[in-house]
């Protein structure tokens, strides 16, 4: 594993949750989940999709332009063994549509989609760079968005038919509001019980 400092926030049915500042290229997770907007908005990207696109020499931009993966809401693309310098075993791109700025529950739905995929493929470690790492959220939406993400992940775990297996899920907190995000994730997890 890469040396990222993570903070454990709790566990649910075999899944341990943590927060960290995730480097999309250096992360050595089994699954790295990266959100991608439908349109490339000038100055909006500061997260995983931009770093991955740059590392892959514009491949994500070309996929969008060619209509192969447009970033439409809920659209997914899995890349197994992505090219260097990406270190994750599998890269999952999730379309975030045109904007999630005022839609906390939408980012929760996408997180649930990512968790279902992680459970299905048996990922032991997951880095989740969804939502606000790609967007500038108003401060008032940081906690509701984080809470929605945790609810989406927990609902997917509860709906999973098979026996739970150990998984380490790390939420990215490079949103400028790490303490607020961490608190909302932790509080939502504790309230779920």
Residue, of 161 and 152, whose pLDDT is higher: 152
Domain boundaries, the chain: 6-192
pLDDT at 135: 61
pLDDT in tens, 2-36: 557 899 999 999 999 999 999 999 999 999 999 98
d(CA 19, CA 174): 10
**pLDDT digit string, tens, across residues 49-78:** 888 999 999 999 999 899 999 999 999 999
pLDDT for the residue numbered 1 = 43
The C-alpha atoms of residue 124 and residue 139 are separated, in whole angstroms, by 32
Query: Could you give the count of Cα atoms lying within 13 Å of 105 in the half-sphere of its Cβ?
Result: 0
pLDDT tens-place string over residues 166-177: 999 999 998 778
Q: What is the pLDDT of residue 161?
A: 83
Sorted by sequence, the CB contacts under 8 Å of residue 86 that are 6+ apart come out as 24, 25, 32, 52, 55, 56
Q: Is the pLDDT of residue 165 over 90?
A: no
Task: Judge whether 12 and 157 are in contact, CB under 8 Å.
Answer: yes
**Cα(57)–Cα(79) distance, rounded to whole angstroms?**
15
Most confident of 32-36, 44-48, 103-107, 164-168: 32-36
The residue that leads in pLDDT, 128 or 161, is: 128
Q: How sure is the predictor about 38, in pLDDT bands with cuts at 50, 70 and 90?
A: confident
If you search the block for the tokens 């967007």, which residue do you land on? 135
What is the strand order of the sheet 6-12 is part of? 6-12, 15-20, 167-172, 125-129, 31-36, 90-95, 76-80
% of the chain at pLDDT higher than 90: 66
CATH 3.40.220.10 fits domain 6-192: yes
Average pLDDT for the chain = 89
pLDDT the model gives residue 175 = 73
């Amino acid at each position: 594993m890469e040396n990222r400092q993570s903070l454990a926030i709790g566990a649910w049915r075999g899944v341990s949750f943590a927060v960290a500042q995730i480097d999309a290229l250096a992360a050595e997770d089994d699954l790295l989940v990266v959100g991608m907007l439908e349109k490339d908005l000038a100055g909006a990207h500061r997260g995983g999709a931009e770093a991955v696109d740059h590392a892959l020499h514009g491949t994500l931009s070309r996929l969008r332009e060619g209509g192969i993966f447009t970033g439409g809401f809920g659209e997914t693309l899995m890349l197994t063994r992505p090219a260097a310098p990406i270190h994750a075993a599998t890269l999952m791109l999730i379309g975030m549509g045109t904007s999630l700025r005022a839609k906390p529950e939408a980012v929760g739905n996408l997180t649930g989609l990512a968790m279902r995929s992680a459970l299905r493929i048996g990922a032991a470690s997951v880095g989740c760079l969804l939502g606000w790492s790609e967007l500038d959220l108003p401060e008032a939406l940081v906690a509701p968005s984080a809470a929605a993400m945790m609810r989406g992940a927990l609902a997917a775990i509860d709906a999973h038919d098979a026996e739970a297996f150990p998984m380490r899920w790390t939420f990215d907190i490079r949103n400028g509001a790490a303490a607020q995000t961490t608190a909302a994730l932790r509080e939502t997890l504790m309230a779920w019980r």
